[in-house]
């Protein structure tokens, strides 16, 4: 058996081609891995914070929207309106101030920024404006109610009792639940 020597032309450098395993080792041991780790931590910390901020902003917006509706519903002759759909139709100023509202097919409820709004005129109870999240935890947490007196109440709605179009609060349910829901007075005052 003879051994042959490979002759390279003069001036040619001998180059080694890195094996795939050694490239992988360099990636996992180099700065690239550090960048991937930092990006993963930033994303995993930032996304829940952003979701929490969005939920909080939806809740604040729900309160502002209830107050806008309350100024119209509980002011003078508008108290005879059957629902928020009729209110939106009869109030050009509300349409200008709340251009991004959507009316449910029943004409009674309105959707805006993750919350559902309705005017509850249950018999035997004072009329109240109600707001609750469309999807508890995703679009909001708390539920809110505003009466003709201008008193605004809120509850954390921990058990997601009110969430979505099919689980709306009513004055009767609110009265039956009483203090068990920990309704807190948020603002108050005679209108």
Per residue in 64-82, pLDDT (tens digit) is: 999 999 988 887 654 556 7
CB 117 within 8 A of CB 109: yes
Residue spans per domain, the chain: 59-187
Average pLDDT over residues 18-37: 64
This model's pTM is above 0.75: no
Per DSSP, helices labelled H in 30-78 are 31-73
Residue 158: Cβ within 10 Å count: 11
pLDDT at residue 6 greater than cutoff 60: no
Side-chain-side CA neighbours of residue 73 (13 Å): 29
pLDDT bracket for residue 18 (50, 70, 90)? low
């Amino acid at each position: 058996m003879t051994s042959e020597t490979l002759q390279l032309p003069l001036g040619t450098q001998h180059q080694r081609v890195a094996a795939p395993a050694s490239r992988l080792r360099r990636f996992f041991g180099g700065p690239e891995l550090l960048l991937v780790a930092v990006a993963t931590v930033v994303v995993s910390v930032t996304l829940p914070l952003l979701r929490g901020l969005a939920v909080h902003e939806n809740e604040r917006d729900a309160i502002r929207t209830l107050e806008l509706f309350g100024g119209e519903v509980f002011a003078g002759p508008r108290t005879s309106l059957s629902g928020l759909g009729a209110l939106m139709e009869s109030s050009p100023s509300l349409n200008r101030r709340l251009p991004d509202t959507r009316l449910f097919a029943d004409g009674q409820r309105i959707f805006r920024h993750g919350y559902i709004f309705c005017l509850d005129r249950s018999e035997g109870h004072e009329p109240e404006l109600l707001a609750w999240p469309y999807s508890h935890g995703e679009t909001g947490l708390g539920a809110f109610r505003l009466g003709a007196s201008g008193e605004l109440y809120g509850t954390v709605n921990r058990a997601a009792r009110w969430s979505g179009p099919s689980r709306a609060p009513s004055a009767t349910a609110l009265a039956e639940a009483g203090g068990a829901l920990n309704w807190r007075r948020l603002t108050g005052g005679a209108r």
